[in-house]
């Protein structure tokens, strides 16, 4: 009887061990699938792929004597894929009022690699700014907030992210 009990216990132990051993790779596969899904999920929004910041602004005059408002932008690839093009709309706001807007489109000759940045100087001729808002752009002490909206990013693999 003792031998039979020992045999049953040994058989049951072997069975449980086999069940646990066969279930373990399934759990690892599920973890691997979840990790792949998470890395894809990282790039679902434009704000996870690129950042667009204004560093400064200044006034200047071009060679033709035309006054220009110059805004220095820094575009950084904070995602994990090379960027080949970026489009967005800038809304220039002062005292809760939109004082100007500007479409931006960058088609890059070489991709902006992850972790890299580029600087852009955007020149806005004063003739494009409504006359009543020109004094705000001329006053270096006036606050102008710039909001990049309606952004589209195209990656080197031709996939795009849209934010509207």
Q: What pLDDT, on a 0 to 100 scale, did the predictor assign at position 36? A: 43
Q: How confident is the model at residue 17 (pLDDT cuts 50, 70, 90)?
A: very low
Q: What is the Cα 10 distance to its own chain's centre? A: 58
Quick check: is 31 in a domain?
A: no
Quick check: is 152 in a domain?
A: yes
Residue pLDDT, tens place only, 73-120: 999 999 999 999 999 999 999 999 999 999 999 999 999 999 999 999
Quick check: is 28 in a domain?
A: no
**Percent share of the chain, pLDDT over 90:** 59
- Does residue 164 or residue 69 have the better pLDDT? 69
Quick check: is 12 in a domain?
A: no
Whether the predicted model's global pTM rises above the 0.85 cut: no
Residues 147-156, mean pLDDT to the nearest whole number = 89
Quick check: is 11 in a domain?
A: no
Burial class (CB in 10 A: 0-12, 13-18, 19+), 33: exposed
Is the Cβ–Cβ distance between 88 and 150 less than 8 Å? yes
Please count the structural domains in the chain.
1
Residue pLDDT, tens place only, 131-144: 999 999 999 899 99
Quick check: is 139 in a domain?
A: yes
Q: Which domain holds residue 128?
A: 46-162
Residue pLDDT, tens place only, 33-85: 444 444 444 567 888 889 999 999 999 999 999 999 999 999 999 999 999 99
Distance CA 91, CA 101 (A): 5
Looking at residue 59, which CATH number applies to its domain? Answer: 2.60.40
């Amino acid at each position: 009887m003792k031998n039979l009990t020992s045999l049953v216990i040994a058989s049951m132990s072997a069975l449980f061990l086999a069940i646990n051993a066969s279930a373990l790779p399934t759990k690892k596969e599920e973890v691997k699938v979840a990790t792949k899904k998470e890395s894809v999920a990282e790039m679902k929004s434009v704000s996870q792929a690129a950042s667009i910041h204004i560093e400064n602004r200044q006034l200047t005059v071009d060679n033709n004597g035309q006054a220009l408002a110059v805004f220095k932008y820094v575009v950084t690839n904070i995602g994990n894929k090379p960027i080949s093009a970026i489009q967005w709309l800038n809304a220039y706001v002062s005292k809760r009022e939109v004082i100007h807007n500007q479409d931006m489109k960058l088609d890059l000759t070489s991709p902006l690699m992850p972790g890299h940045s580029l600087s852009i100087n955007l020149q806005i001729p004063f003739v494009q700014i409504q006359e009543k808002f020109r004094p705000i752009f001329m006053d270096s002490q006036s606050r102008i907030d710039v909001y990049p909206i309606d952004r589209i990013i195209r990656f080197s693999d031709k996939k795009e992210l849209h934010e509207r």
